[in-house]
Amino acid sequence: MSITLTLPDPLARQVQQVAQREGVATDAYIVQLLQWHLSTRQSALPASEAALLQQINLGLPATTWQRYHELARKLADETLQSDEQPALIALTEQIEQANVRRIAALIKLAQIRNTTLDNLIEQLGIRPPAYA
């Protein structure tokens, strides 16, 4: 297939100069440039999907998880103090809210990609923690 392009003179000179510096013919350089441009555009995620993936991957700080596990361990060991119970409840609610946001983002992404939630979770390699 053949396509004819008419470039403004300054752009044509610039393309010729760069092709010459690269040591390739001008038309070959233009083909390489177009191939590179198209391949990077195809591999880039749409902004909406990128934003959803960012929400899905957003986690809680390590200190939050450490405190939650410490209090949950005390609860399991029956050593949780009465003044620690509100903190455990608040952390549990915080974790649940974060999970709700993540699941909502997963559902939206599955809809955008026209797939099921289970398939999307498998595609993304999301696995429950080993202790769950």
For 65-84, the pLDDT digits (tens) are 999 999 999 999 999 999 99
Are residues 60 and 94 in contact, defined by beta-carbon separation less than 8 angstroms? Answer: yes
17-40 mean pLDDT:
81
Judged against a pLDDT cut of 70, whether residue 41 lies above it is answered with no
Indicate the domain borders of the chain.
Answer: 9-43, 47-124
**What is the reported pLDDT for 40?**
64
Report the C-alpha dihedral over residues 124, 128, 130, 132, rounded to 10 degrees.
180
19-48 mean pLDDT:
79
The DSSP call for residue 45 is P
Are residues 121 and 106 in contact, defined by beta-carbon separation less than 8 angstroms? Answer: yes
pTM over 0.95: no
